[in-house]
Structures are given as C-alpha cells and as structure tokens.
Amino acid sequence: MRLDGCAFYFVRKAKSPENLQNIACCQMDRIRMRKDIGMIMRTKTAAVVMGIVLSLTALTGCGAKEAEKVVDSNVQTENIQTENGQTVEAGAENEAGMDVSGTAENGDVQPEDGNEASEEENEEVTVRIGSLKGPTSMGLVYLMEQAKNGEASQQYEFTMTAAADELLPAMISGDLDIILVPANVASVLYNKTEGGVSVIDINTLGVLYMVSGDDTIKNMADLKGKTVYLTGKGTTPDYVLHYLLKENGLTEADVTLEYKSEATEVAAVLTGTPEAIGVLPQPFVTAACAQNENLTVVMDLTEQWNIVQDMGAVAEDGGRSQLVTGVTVVRNGFLEEHQTAVDKFLEEHASSAAYANEHVEEAAELVAAAGIIEKAPVAVKAMPKCNITYIDGSDMKTALEGYLSVLCGQDAASVGGGLPGEDFYYINE
C-alpha cells in the first residue's frame, strides 16, 4: 500500500501501533472540530461582507456599478468602504487538513528536536496581493512584471479588479494577504475588524485637480462666487474641498458646489462648458484636457493642501499631514506569521514605485498592458501627475494620521467611526 505524505508523516513519528492509534483518534476529533469552526467562520464572514455592502452604499451614495467607472480613492471607484474580517489563525496544516503544529499534551505530534522545522516553515511563502485598477496600482506594475519573469525575491500572486466587490471579499475570507486601497478605507477596515489590519505604506498621494477654461482662477480665494462641479456628496473629494475652502476662509455660501454621480459626468460638463470649474482625478484630467484644448489645470489640490500645512495646520507630533489617496494594508494574521515576507514586499514595492517615476515611458507600457489606462501615450502624460510614491514608517504615520483627522472631523463615518489606534501603523525602522 502506498502512503501519501500525511500518512507517512504520522507512521514515521508514531514509532509503535499503539501511539499511531492514539494519534489517529486525536486527529479525527480535531478534524470534526475544524469542520464546525469552518462553518461558523464562513457564516460570520458572509455576515460581515453583507454589512460592508449595506453600510458603504449608504455612505458613498453609489453601488458597485458606479464604483467601477471611476479611478481612485478621491473618486468613487476606490472610495468604497470595506472591512477585513478577523481571521482565526489555525496551526500549520498539511494536505489532509490535519494540524501537526500542536503539543504532545493534546495528542499532536512534535518534532523530536528543535532543529526540525515545521512543514510550513520549509515552504516558500506566496504573497497574495490585490489592487484596483487606478493610480494606486501604477507603482506596483514593475513588481508585477518582475514576478511574472521570475525576477522578484519571492513568490507573488496578483489580483487586479475593476470592482471592489470582487477584491474585498477575497481579503475578508483570507484569500488575499495584502491589498492596495483608499486611505480612508484602511481606517474603516481597522475599526470594523477591531484592529485586524495594519497599514504598511502610502502608495499614492493626491490625484485631485481643479480643471477649467477660466484662466483667472489661480488660488482658492478666486473661487468666491463661482460654481464647482465634483463627484459624490459625502465622498473624499467633497471632504477635501470643504477642508480647503474652510482653511481659506470660504464656505458654501461663498462657493456653490454641484455634485455629479461620477467623474465622467463632471468631464462632460467641462467639455460642454469650458468656463465651468470641475474637480477631477487623474487620469480623467489628462483625458478631459486632451479632448478640449480650452481646458487646463488651474489648481493642484495637493499643492493647496500643502499650502494649508505651511500656514500652520500641522499634525499633533509637529509634522505635516499630506493629501493621501492610496495606502497598502496587510492582514495582521499574515503579518504575524510572515513578517519577513511583508518586509521583502515593502522593499520591492519601494523599488517598483521608484521605477514608475524614473522610467515613465517603460512603466506606461506596463500600465497599459495591465489595463489601468487603455493607451500608453495617455499613461505617459497622466502618470507624472498621479503622485505615485512610497512612504513608510514614521513619515507614513504623520502624513496619514493628519489626513484621516481631517476626514474624521467632517464625518467620522468616513473613517469607520473614529481614528485608528497606534497599532494601526506598521513601523519597522
């Protein structure tokens, strides 16, 4: 009779028929228990996913279909609020689903000495990464290409989707380990999972720009008496604009805000009425200006945010907050088990983001190939304005903490009900 790897392992370790019988009985009990736990966890995960969909639809004012049509966290595609369900971390399992990492006291088998590594430790970790099509993924494409060619330092599996309703359930169920999401989504995840995730880097700063054919607009003060078109009341573009208006002494009594359901509608208004003023994200800005030569960028909202910081709106630790679009989040269960793999990813993510900024034409080809932007020439023009970056450690914490504080001050629900705790920020310096 041929023994599979699992059976051979237990026969070799038992050393006698009596011990083998005891081990088999214990393992059968554990299998039954695991089946019960698995059913409970699947039910809990389904309930969490449904809760996310209902609460976030109310918050964003749009469903998944509308979210597919916009590009990043400062519009509705990546502004869907999600949460990562807490995962029950089981011991190392082999192909038969039997736990072989416990103690002898409960009937499990231990190695004979400390030099014999577990089966899980001997296996190379595959890091499963998910992202949405948009600027937050542009700094990832070079690493994706390296992984495809076998040039990365470890094994990766990448999932890129246009719709969050495909990506987020996979993270919740534990089928993804790391995801690239809007900054406020990361905070929502942390709060809803009671600290089940950590942010490990900032991958994109602000991608919002004010576009118009009215060249008299130079700063926020010039908006007084004007009408501004933007996407989604109660979304991050709305919060950012309200913050900048307030810090410049303006209110909705001074500036009329007209909301559209998606960025393409704002672009359509600008195309038909060039003197109108609209807030758009990249790459919609590049596309709109290419279609109408009368349109131009009149204000970079990231620059306006920085001006406010220079005027004194600094973070609690004395640092400067920044207008953050996208961050990278890890499941804490994966981080605890595979910190080395996470740290390796961070090193390669930093290199990949640098490549996107330093080799724009080559990276644009990868962006187009990945389907993030349809044509490479458009990507070449858009990418330098997408603020692709890599920020980690204490700088990440300062930049992100201040940004989330601004959102929370306007609507606590936008960050999941409150600001994350100190343990939200993964700082490995």
The CATH number of the domain holding residue 75 is 3.40.190.10
- Nearest Cα residue to 139 out of 287, 357, 346: 357
Query: Do 325 and 414 have their domain in common?
Result: yes
- The domain boundary, picked from 310, 335, 357, lies at 310
pLDDT tier at 97, thresholds 50, 70, 90: very low
Reply yes or no on whether the pLDDT at 176 is more than 50.
yes
Query: Do 197 and 285 have their domain in common?
Result: no
Reply yes or no on whether the pLDDT at 285 is more than 80.
yes
Reply yes or no on whether the pLDDT at 258 is more than 80.
yes
Contact between 302 and 206 (Cβ < 8 Å): yes
Kindly give, in sequence order, each residue whose CB lies less than 8 Å from that of residue 105, ignoring residues fewer than 6 positions away: none
Residue 405 resides in a domain: yes
Compute the CA torsion angle 372, 161, 66, 322 (nearest 10 deg).
-70
Burial of 156 (0-12, 13-18, 19+ CB in 10 A): buried
Half-sphere exposure of 242 (CA within 13 A, CB side): 18
Residue 5 resides in a domain: no
Q: What is the pTM of this model?
A: 0.72
Reply yes or no on whether the pLDDT at 53 is more than 70.
no
State CA 87 to chain mean position distance. 18
Residue 18 resides in a domain: no
Half-sphere exposure of 274 (CA within 13 A, CB side): 14
CA distance 346 to 349: 5
pLDDT tier at 169, thresholds 50, 70, 90: confident
- The full 3-state SS of the chain, as one line of letters, equals CCCCHHHHHHHHHHCCHHHHHHHHHHHHHHHHHHHHHHHHHHHHHHHHHHHHHHHHHHHHCCCHHHHHCCCCCCCCCCCCCCCCCCCCCCCCECCCCCECCCCHHHCCCCCCCCCCCCHHHHCCCEEEEEEECCHHHHCCHHHHHHHHCCCCCCEEEEEEECCHHHHHHHHHCCCCCEEEEEHHHHHHHHHHCCCCEEEEEEEEECCEEEEECCCCCCCHHHHCCCEEEEECCCCHHHHHHHHHHHHCCCCCCCCEEEEECCHHHHHHHHHHCCCCEEEEECCHHHHHHHHCCCCEEEEEHHHHHHHHHHCCCCCCCCCCCCCEEEEEEEEHHHHHHCHHHHHHHHHHHHHHHHHHHHCHHHHHHHHHHCCCCCCHHHHHHHHHHCCEEEECHHHHHHHHHHHHHHHHHHCHHHHCCCCCCHHHECCCC
Contact between 133 and 161 (Cβ < 8 Å): yes
Q: CA separation (Å) from 148 to 122, 145, 152, 300, 379?
A: 23, 5, 8, 36, 21
- Pairing mode, strands 227-231 and 256-260: parallel
Q: State how many domains the chain has.
A: 2
Residue 82 resides in a domain: yes
CA distance 250 to 295: 25
Residue 275 resides in a domain: yes
- The domain boundary, picked from 261, 292, 310, lies at 310
Q: What is the pLDDT of residues 214-243, one digit of tens each?
A: 989 999 999 999 999 999 888 888 999 999
Query: Which neighbouring-strand residues pair with 198?
Result: 330
CA distance 419 to 181: 17
Residue 103 resides in a domain: no
Query: Do 275 and 333 have their domain in common?
Result: no
pLDDT the model gives residue 291: 86
Per the omega criterion (within 30 degrees of 0), is the bond before 283 cis?
Answer: yes
Residue 361 resides in a domain: yes
Reply yes or no on whether the pLDDT at 250 is more than 50.
yes
Task: Answer with the residue of higher pLDDT: 130 or 274.
Answer: 130
Out of 16-20, 57-61, 216-220, least confident range: 57-61
Range with the largest mean pLDDT of 19-28, 91-100, 138-147:
138-147
Query: For 344-348, what is the mean pLDDT?
Result: 97
Residue 392 resides in a domain: yes
Kindly give, in sequence order, each residue whose CB lies less than 8 Å from that of residue 159, ignoring residues fewer than 6 positions away: 128, 129, 130, 131, 167, 170, 176
Query: Do 213 and 197 have their domain in common?
Result: no
Query: Do 378 and 278 have their domain in common?
Result: no
Quote the mean pLDDT of the chain. 77
Query: Do 195 and 250 have their domain in common?
Result: no
Task: Answer with the residue of higher pLDDT: 30 or 8.
Answer: 30
Query: For 158-184, what is the mean pLDDT?
Result: 83
CA distance 140 to 349: 6
Contact between 206 and 324 (Cβ < 8 Å): yes
Contact between 328 and 199 (Cβ < 8 Å): yes
Residues of the domain holding 147: 43-87+121-202+320-424
Query: Do 150 and 280 have their domain in common?
Result: no
Query: Do 289 and 333 have their domain in common?
Result: no
pLDDT the model gives residue 132: 85
Query: For 252-262, what is the mean pLDDT?
Result: 92
Contact between 118 and 91 (Cβ < 8 Å): no
Query: Do 306 and 344 have their domain in common?
Result: no
- The domain boundary, picked from 310, 343, 369, lies at 310
Query: For 23-45, what is the mean pLDDT?
Result: 49
Query: Do 65 and 179 have their domain in common?
Result: yes
Query: Do 137 and 279 have their domain in common?
Result: no
pLDDT the model gives residue 252: 87
Query: Do 215 and 195 have their domain in common?
Result: no
Out of 36-45, 336-345, 377-386, least confident range: 36-45
- Considering Cα of 34, then 37, then 42, then 45, what sign does the dihedral take? negative
Question: Which phi-psi region, left, alpha or beta, contains residue 251 (left: φ > 0; alpha: ψ -120 to 50)?
Answer: beta
Kindly give, in sequence order, each residue whose CB lies less than 8 Å from that of residue 375, ignoring residues fewer than 6 positions away: 368
